[in-house]
Homo-oligomer: A and B are copies of this chain.
Amino acid sequence: MKETTIIEIEEINPKEAVLIEGLPGLGLVGKIAVEYLVKQLNARKVAEVYSPHFAHYVLVNNEGILRLLRLEFYYWNGGEDGYDLILLTGDCQAQTIEGQYEVADVIFDYARRKNVSLIITLGGYQKEVKDTPQVFVSATDRKLLDAALQLGAKNSPSGSPIIGAAGILVGLAKFKRMNALCLLAETYGNRPDPKASKSLLNLLSEMLHIGVDLSDLEREIFRYEQMRERIRKIQEQRRMLERRRQRTEEEEKFSI
C-alpha cells in the first residue's frame, strides 16, 4: 500500500449529505462527539481509510485481532425531510503535512461521490475553561458563519491558527467547491474532555435539527470528573511526601 486507500464496505447513494469529521486531537473533543453521534444515531459503518501516512504501529482489539490504524465513515439516513449524515472518525491523523493533504484528497473524493454539500469539522481549542465550554466557529463563507453565531457560537479569535484535519478540510473545501464549517470547543486539551464534546453536540443538534439525547454523555462527564478528582488527591499526597523526603535528605546532607 503506497497510497492512502479507501475501502467501501457498503455502497450508499444519498441525494444530499452533510459530512461531520471528528478525528483525534486536543482533548479528543471531536472524536468523542462523532463517536457519540454514531452510537446514538445507530449509524452503520460504510467505508474505511488506510494510509502509509498514519503512525507506524498497529492495534490489537480485545479479541486479539490485530489491525492497521484507520479512519471510518459511518452513514445515517435522515429520512425524507432531514439531512443524511456521513460521520468520519478514526484512530489517528496523518503524521506529516504532505500526508494530511493526501488523506484529505481521499476524503474529498469520497464526499463528492456521495453528494456531500457541507462539511463540518469538530475539534478542541486550548484555553482556560470556565463553566460550560464555549464553541468557536470559522467557515468558508459568511452565511454559514452567521448560522452558527446565532446559535451561540463565538467568532474564532482572528489570526489564530487551526492545526490538523479540522482546519485543512475546511481550508481545502473552497477548492473542492464545497461549503465548510469548523467548530472548536474550549478544552484544557491534555485529557479526554467529553464536556467540551457536549458543547459541540448541543450546537450541532440544533443546527442540523437532529434530536440527539445527550444524557449518556452527561453520565460519562460525571464519571470523568470523579476520576479526575481522585487522581488530583493522589498527586497532592505524593507531592507532600516528596517534599518531606527532600527536606529530610537535605538535613542529612548538612549533618555529615
* Residue A229 lies at the interface, judged by CB distance under 8 Å to chain B: no
* Alpha-carbon separation in the docked complex, A5 to B57 (Å): 24
Q: Is the interface of A mostly helix, strand, loop or mixed?
A: mixed
With contacts A56-B100, A59-B159 known, is A66 near B139, CB below 8 A? yes
* Residue A46 lies at the interface, judged by CB distance under 8 Å to chain B: no
Selected contact of A140 from candidates B52, B66, B97, CB within 8 Å: B66
* Contact (Cβ within 8 A) B68 A172: yes
* Contact (Cβ within 8 A) B168 A58: yes
* Residue A163 lies at the interface, judged by CB distance under 8 Å to chain B: yes
Instruction: Name A56-113 residues within 8 Å CB distance of B.
Output: 56-68, 95, 97-98, 100-102, 104-105
**Copies of this chain in the oligomer:** 4
User: Using a Cβ–Cβ cut-off of 8 Å, how many residues does chain A contribute to the interface with B?
Assistant: 62
* Contact (Cβ within 8 A) A98 B52: yes
* Contact (Cβ within 8 A) A172 B1: yes
- Chain B nearest CB, measured from A62 CB (Å): 4
Selected contact of A164 from candidates B54, B56, B170, B171, CB within 8 Å: B56
* Contact (Cβ within 8 A) A66 B163: no
With contacts A56-B164, A58-B168, A170-B58 known, is A101 near B1, CB below 8 A? yes
* Alpha-carbon separation in the docked complex, A109 to B2 (Å): 13
Chain-B contact segment, one of A11-19, A30-38, A150-158, A196-204: A150-158
* Residue A195 lies at the interface, judged by CB distance under 8 Å to chain B: no
* Alpha-carbon separation in the docked complex, A162 to B138 (Å): 38
* Residue A221 lies at the interface, judged by CB distance under 8 Å to chain B: no
* Alpha-carbon separation in the docked complex, A2 to B2 (Å): 14
- Chain B nearest CB, measured from A173 CB (Å): 9
* Residue A6 lies at the interface, judged by CB distance under 8 Å to chain B: no
* Residue A232 lies at the interface, judged by CB distance under 8 Å to chain B: no
* Residue A247 lies at the interface, judged by CB distance under 8 Å to chain B: yes
Question: What residue of chain B has the Cβ atom nearest to residue A137's Cβ?
Answer: B64
* Contact (Cβ within 8 A) A57 B98: no
Q: Given A55-B161, A61-B159, A65-B141, 12 other A-B contacts at CB below 8 A?
A: A1-B172, A1-B175, A2-B98, A54-B97, A58-B167, A59-B159, A61-B158, A63-B145, A64-B156, A65-B140, A66-B138, A66-B170
